[in-house]
Amino acid sequence: MSAALETLDRMNTALAQSQNGQLAQSEMIRLWRSQAASLALPARFDEVLQPLLDRIEASVLFSEESCSFSQKDLLASLQMWADKARLRLSSQSASQN
């Protein structure tokens, strides 16, 4: 497995731990911000990820779901981003072999 895919696995683990209450969302966001830079994905991935993380960070201010910030939907979007990143990284890894 490539280093980038291992990094993405760590990011996914942090997301799952955050969803289960085992990791503070602020820590999950910090990890995602720091680790995403090392994934060597096209710029459009970062253009989607950073505003998404900003919205998740803002949603922490609300204790319940609100019209503006549905944590469940935001975290589902983060998982979708991770799934698309995995596909991209897997295809990059395959083309290098």
Domain boundaries of the chain, sorted by first residue = 3-96
Encode pLDDT of 66-94 as tens digits.
556 678 899 999 999 999 999 999 988 77
Task: Assign 59 a pLDDT band (cuts: 50, 70, 90).
Answer: confident
Predicted TM-score (pTM) above 0.95 = no
**Of all helices (H) and strands (E), which one includes residue 55?**
helix 43-59
With CA atoms as reference, report the closest residue to 92 among 41, 43, 53, 50.
41
Return d(Cα 89, Cα 35) in angstroms, integer.
14
